[in-house]
C-alpha cells in the first residue's frame, strides 16, 4: 500500500500563540533525504517547499516560532545557519544517539562551537536509543555524557531523545549531573516515569503520539505533568497527530496536539498556549 505523502489540511487557528519546540526543517525542505530516524527518506517533503513556506503555514494557525533540531554534524551546521538567517527560527545542535559512533572529539568540539552561537538555543537531540542498535551502547553513553557537559558549559538546554532507555537516561543524568534545563523530547514514558522527571524539574515535551488511540499511558503522563513543565512539539516531519497518521507532519499541525493537551489539563487552549510560551522563554531564552 502506497503512503499518502500529501500535506494534511490546515486546522483552525489557535486561540493564542505558541511555538514548536522540536522539528527538523532540513528534512522537511528536502535538504536531507534521510535521517537517523528515517533511513529510507520516506518522510522527506516534496522539493520546492521552503523554510518560509513552513513558517508561513505555522504562523497562520498561531505557531509563531520553531526550534529546528540537529541529529548529526551536517544537520547541526544547517540548522545553526538557518537560525542565523531566518527570523523566528532557533536551533538545537547535537549528534543523535543512533549516530553516536560518529561523535568523535573533533565532531563534539564543533557541536560545542555551534552551541555557543546566539540563535542556537539547545544541545540536542542527544540521549539513548535502545530500540535500534545503530550505535553500541558504550558509544551512546559516552556521547550522551559529552553532550551533557557541552550543555553545562554553554548554558543551553539539553534536549533528550529517550527510546526504550528510561532508567539509563535518568541514571546518566544523575551520575553526570544534569544541566540547569533538561527537556525530554517527544516524551514516551508513563505516569510514573513522568512523575520522576517532574520531581527533578525536567520539562516534558509532548507530540503527536499523545493523540493516538492506544496512548493511554502517555495521556496519564500528561495528567501528572504540571503545565509549567510542559512543552509541545511536532518532531516534524515525523509523528503526525490524529487524524493524519501516516502523512507528513508539519509545525502547522501543533493545534491538534495542543488542544488535546489543554483538554487533559482542564485548561483553555489560550491558557495552555500562554503557559507553554512562557515555558519556552525559560527553557530556550528570550526570543
Beta-bridged to residue 90, according to DSSP, are 67
Determine if residue 185 is labeled as part of a ligand binding site. yes
Q: Phi, psi (5° rounding) for residue 190? A: -95, -170
pLDDT of residue 47: 58
How many structural domains comprise the chain?
1
pLDDT of residue 38: 47
pLDDT of residue 44: 46
In a domain, 13, yes or no: no
Residue 219 has a CB neighbour count (10 Å cut-off) of 18
In a domain, 7, yes or no: no
pLDDT of residue 40: 35
54 with 43: CB under 8 angstroms? no
pLDDT of residue 33: 52
169 with 127: CB under 8 angstroms? yes
pLDDT of residue 97: 98
Residue ranges in the chain whose pLDDT is less than 50:
1, 34-45
Determine if residue 147 is labeled as part of a ligand binding site. no
For 79, the domain range is 18-284
In a domain, 10, yes or no: no
Return the CATH number at 56. 3.20.20.140
Determine if residue 244 is labeled as part of a ligand binding site. no
Task: State pTM to two decimals.
Answer: 0.94
Residue 29 has a CB neighbour count (10 Å cut-off) of 22
Determine if residue 125 is labeled as part of a ligand binding site. yes
Determine if residue 235 is labeled as part of a ligand binding site. yes
In a domain, 75, yes or no: yes
* Core vs surface per residue 101-114: b (16+ CB within 10 A) or e: bebeeebbeebbeb
pLDDT of residue 48: 83
pLDDT of residue 133: 84
Distance from the Cα of residue 116 to its chain's centroid: 19
pLDDT of residue 220: 98
Determine if residue 22 is labeled as part of a ligand binding site. yes
Amino acid at each position: 500500500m502506497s503512503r499518502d505523502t500529501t500535506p494534511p489540511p490546515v486546522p483552525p487557528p489557535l486561540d493564542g500563540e505558541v511555538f514548536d519546540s522540536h522539528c527538523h526543517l532540513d528534512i522537511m525542505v528536502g535538504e536531507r533525504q534521510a535521517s537517523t530516524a528515517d533511513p529510507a527518506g520516506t518522510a522527506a517533503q516534496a522539493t520546492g517547499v521552503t523554510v518560509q513556506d513552513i513558517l508561513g503555514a505555522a504562523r497562520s494557525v498561531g505557531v509563531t516560532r520553531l526550534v529546528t533540531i540537529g541529529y548529526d554534524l551536517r544537520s547541526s551546521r544547517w540548522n545553526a545557519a538557518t537560525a542565523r538567517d531566518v527570523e523566528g527560527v532557533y536551533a538545537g545542535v547535537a549528534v543523535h544517539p543512533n549516530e553516536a559512533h560518529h561523535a568523535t572529539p573533533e565532531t563534539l568540539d564543533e557541536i560545542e562551537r555551534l552551541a555557543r552561537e546566539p540563535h542556537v538555543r539547545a544541545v540536542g537531540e542527544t540521549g539513548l536509543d535502545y530500540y535500534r542498535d545503530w550505535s553500541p551502547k558504550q558509544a551512546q553513553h559516552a556521547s550522551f555524557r559529552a553532550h551533557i557537559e557541552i550543555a553545562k558549559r554553554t548554558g543551553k538546554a539539553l534536549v533528550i531523545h529517550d527510546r526504550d532507555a528510561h532508567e539509563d537516561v535518568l541514571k546518566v543524568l544523575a551520575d553526570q549531573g544534569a544541566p540547569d534545563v533538561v527537556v525530554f523530547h517527544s516524551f514516551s514514558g508513563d505516569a510514573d516515569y513522568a512523575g520522576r522527571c517532574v520531581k527533578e524539574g525536567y520539562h516534558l515535551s509532548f507530540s503527536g503520539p499523545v493523540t493516538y488511540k492506544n496512548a493511554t499511558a502517555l495521556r496519564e503522563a500528561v495528567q501528572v505533568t504540571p503545565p509549567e513543565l510542559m512543552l509541545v512539539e511536532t518532531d516534524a516531519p515525523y509523528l503526525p497527530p490524529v487524524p493524519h497518521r501516516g502523512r507528513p507532519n508539519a509545525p502547522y499541525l501543533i493545534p491538534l496536539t495542543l488542544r488535546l493537551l489543554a483538554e487533559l489539563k482542564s485548561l483553555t487552549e489560550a491558557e495552555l498556549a500562554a503557559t507553554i510560551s512562557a515555558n519556552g522563554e525559560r527553557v530556550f531564552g528570550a526570543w
